[in-house]
Structure 1
Amino acid sequence: MDIKVIIGQLDVTELVQTATTSGNATIFDRKLNLKITGTIDGRKRALNVEEGARVLFYVDDVLDFVGVLFAQDIESYGDMNLIAYDTNIYLAKSNDSLIIKNKKASDVIKQIARDYGIEIGQIDDTGYVIPYYKAEGTLREIILKVLNLTKRQTGLSYFIGNDKGKLTLKKGAKPSERYVLSAGENLLSVTYHRTIDETKTQIKVIGGTKGKETIITVKDSDKRVKYGVLQEVEIMDESATASQVKQRAETLLKQKARLMETLDVEVLGVREVKTGTAVRFFDEMTRAPGDYYVAADTHEYRAGLHTMSLSLERTYELEYIET
């Protein structure tokens, strides 16, 4: 496994001690952290780079990360730590207020990218047309809000990503046999978590004209018996129709009436396995086989060895944000 790092016009590969890339489903941007030998003789600084410089990171001659240098530290003995983010970081650094009329979430994301000079790659059609919504906050928060609105109506999740410096939006991946994590083959360590802390067995949704509201309550009878009554109430706006209230209640119950299972694994590295990737997991001790999504990932490249730490969840969940 070979890596190459270009900062601006400089090839700094020979100075890199450790390279770490990381991502998280709720953050949008990926991060590259470089530990650099910043001196040759222990007395003079060997590398001078400026914030804003373009950073390219290659793994086995494949471009893995395109970003911008945001921060740097240097120690008295010469070691440097450099931090770069892909261009999705700009979604967290700017605020706006948008009036959305009869637009899909995918259309809103394209509009934001155009307005802020962010290059776009694959943008999947989100389908649901938002009739009217006023969104305020950071660009990241606005995108989360419209994706949450879409998920409420359709039950579908979408991943924000970045491919070679271009903003992407992709529908949740379907699990495949391509990336298999298995004890005795590539797994180094596993911790399996189970909880019903966030489980709901009953959902009540209220919406419609004031004084004539539609109230829908749906239950998962089997899980009510098993876990008890765990109810969540949601209020929709006055424009919600009876069918929309019913659809929202059923969608929310499907999302909430489940045991939360997560896996934290350390595994031999596979460059393509990043946040949003579907993987298949096998391990006799934890007895939690099946298909999972990567909710967070950290890849470390050191001395020719590539390992990765992954947080796996049964389903992809958007970060909840008040809409």
Structure 2
Amino acid sequence: MLEILLDNKDGNVWDLSEIVTDVTWTTTRVGRPASVDFTLIDSGIYQDRAFAINNGDIVRFRMGDVNAFYGYVFSIKTNQDAEISIKAYDQVRYLLNKDTYVIKNVTTGDVIRKIAADFNLKVGRIDDTGYRIPSMVEDGQTLLDDIEKANTLTMSATGRFFVFFDDFGELSLRDVTSFQAGFYIGDGSLMTGYDYGRDIDQDTYNKIKLYRDNKDTKKREVYIAQDSAYIARWGLLQLYESVDEEKNAAQINEMLTQLMQLKNREQKSLKIDAIGDIRVRAGMYVPIIIESLGINQPMMVDEVTHRFDGADHTMSLTLKVI
């Protein structure tokens, strides 16, 4: 049973579950807050003079016993038919603010907690990454960019993936190995269609060049790893990045190894249309079984949009092979 509640922050909580249409809930693994969109249809609730909906009101969205979304109204539109279209975002929307941070010897969790304290945001479960970032100097970047950079630096150094998201009103960082669906999608399970692709266009590199400016010698030190076989096959695809000056040669070479493992391969994408399951959200691992493609493995959900039309619940997933 779909439940959508509206909290006016003035003591009134309205149950909109029976009077909403065109409900969609979208989560994205990186770069954007989760959102809920819905339309209010003409109903007796409008006759209650206490009812109002304003930007900043709280929207809570549940289905059955699953807490799906806790966020805030950011857009209200009305048309000639007196329909009200609402868009709400979760806390991650406030991380699109910009500021300057200079921080040292921190984990990704430390970065999240520092930013949350500065901007009065709530924090929930933060998994330990086991890695401290030597330093970060971020001037005028979005807060979300800062957190995602910390996450990327951790991934490059450790080879471990963590997903950052708002978990029903609390900022959370989860190790993806423990953030998995307890069911599969594919042949005989939920899937109604798919679109599969392989590319070397977006995030594939067969030569990694890392450089560090040595303040003592005043020289630039360059570290290189490459795969000649794949260069011959695909042409030269080079990733060129700076590394923290405090890293030693062994640490930089370890970064090269990790980056080659992650980047020196075809990037595979899979889009699936399926019967909806409210437990599926971006960032989690979902086992995928599609015999015709030879796929039988967990994949990470990059984005998922849930759509609700009366009793019908469908979802569209974009997945990535990790």
**How high is the TM-score relative to the length of structure 1?**
0.88
Q: Residue 77 of structure 2 contacts residue 85 of structure 2 at CA under 8 Å; is this kept in 1?
A: yes
Q: 1:267 matched to which residue of 2?
A: 274
Pick closer, same or farther for the CA change 1:95–1:247 going to 2, 3 Å.
same
Q: Residue 83 of structure 1 is aligned with which of 76, 81, 87?
A: 87
In structure 1, the gaps of 5 or more residues are 316-323
1:57-68 matches, within 5 Å, as 57-68=61-72
Pick closer, same or farther for the CA change 1:109–1:13 going to 2, 3 Å.
same
Q: 1:15 matched to which residue of 2?
A: 19
Q: Residue 23 of structure 1 contacts residue 29 of structure 1 at CA under 8 Å; is this kept in 2?
A: yes
Q: Residue 199 of structure 1 is aligned with which of 194, 204, 208?
A: 204
> In the TM superposition, what whole-angstrom CA distance separates every residue of 1:67-86 from its partner, at most 9, and x where no partner exists?
11111111111222111111
Q: 2:263 matched to which residue of 1?
A: 256
Aligned residues: 313
Partners in 1 of 2:102 and 2:146 — Cα distance? 11
Note the C-alpha offset of 1:205.
2.1
Q: 1:147 matched to which residue of 2?
A: 151
Which stretch has the larger CA shift, 41-50 or 218-227? 41-50
Note the C-alpha offset of 1:38.
3.5
> In the TM superposition, what whole-angstrom CA distance separates every residue of 1:273-306 from its partner, at most 9, and x where no partner exists?
1001111112233333322100000001111111
Which stretch has the larger CA shift, 189-198 or 207-216? 207-216
Q: 2:55 matched to which residue of 1?
A: 51
Q: What amino acid is the match of 1:275?
A: A
Q: Residue 278 of structure 1 contacts residue 292 of structure 1 at CA under 8 Å; is this kept in 2?
A: yes
Q: What amino acid is the match of 1:207?
A: R
Q: Residue 181 of structure 2 contacts residue 280 of structure 2 at CA under 8 Å; is this kept in 1?
A: no
Pick closer, same or farther for the CA change 1:61–1:127 going to 2, 3 Å.
closer
Pick closer, same or farther for the CA change 1:176–1:103 going to 2, 3 Å.
closer
Which stretch has the larger CA shift, 100-109 or 205-214? 205-214
Q: What amino acid is the match of 1:202?
A: K
Note the C-alpha offset of 1:224.
3.6
Pick closer, same or farther for the CA change 1:47–1:191 going to 2, 3 Å.
farther
> In the TM superposition, what whole-angstrom CA distance separates every residue of 1:201-242 from its partner, at most 9, and x where no partner exists?
222222252555443322234434543443333333544321
Give the fraction of aligned pairs with identical amino acids, expressed as a percent. 28
Partners in 2 of 1:166 and 1:175 — Cα distance? 16
Pick closer, same or farther for the CA change 1:150–1:294 going to 2, 3 Å.
same
Partners in 1 of 2:108 and 2:144 — Cα distance? 13
Partners in 2 of 1:12 and 1:43 — Cα distance? 14
3-state SS, counterpart of residue 177 of structure 2: coil
3-state SS, counterpart of residue 256 of structure 2: helix
Note the C-alpha offset of 1:180.
0.6
Q: What amino acid is the match of 2:157?
A: Q
Q: Residue 5 of structure 2 contacts residue 14 of structure 2 at CA under 8 Å; is this kept in 1?
A: yes
1:246 and 2:253 matched: yes
> In the TM superposition, what whole-angstrom CA distance separates every residue of 1:86-122 from its partner, at most 9, and x where no partner exists?
1221111x22211202222211111111121111110
In structure 2, the gaps of 5 or more residues are 8-12
3-state SS, counterpart of residue 27 of structure 1: coil
Q: CA RMSD in A?
A: 2.6
Q: Residue 150 of structure 1 contacts residue 156 of structure 1 at CA under 8 Å; is this kept in 2?
A: yes
1:161 and 2:165 matched: yes
Pick closer, same or farther for the CA change 1:176–1:55 going to 2, 3 Å.
closer
Q: What amino acid is the match of 1:309?
A: S
Partners in 2 of 1:111 and 1:186 — Cα distance? 41
**How high is the TM-score relative to the length of structure 2?**
0.88
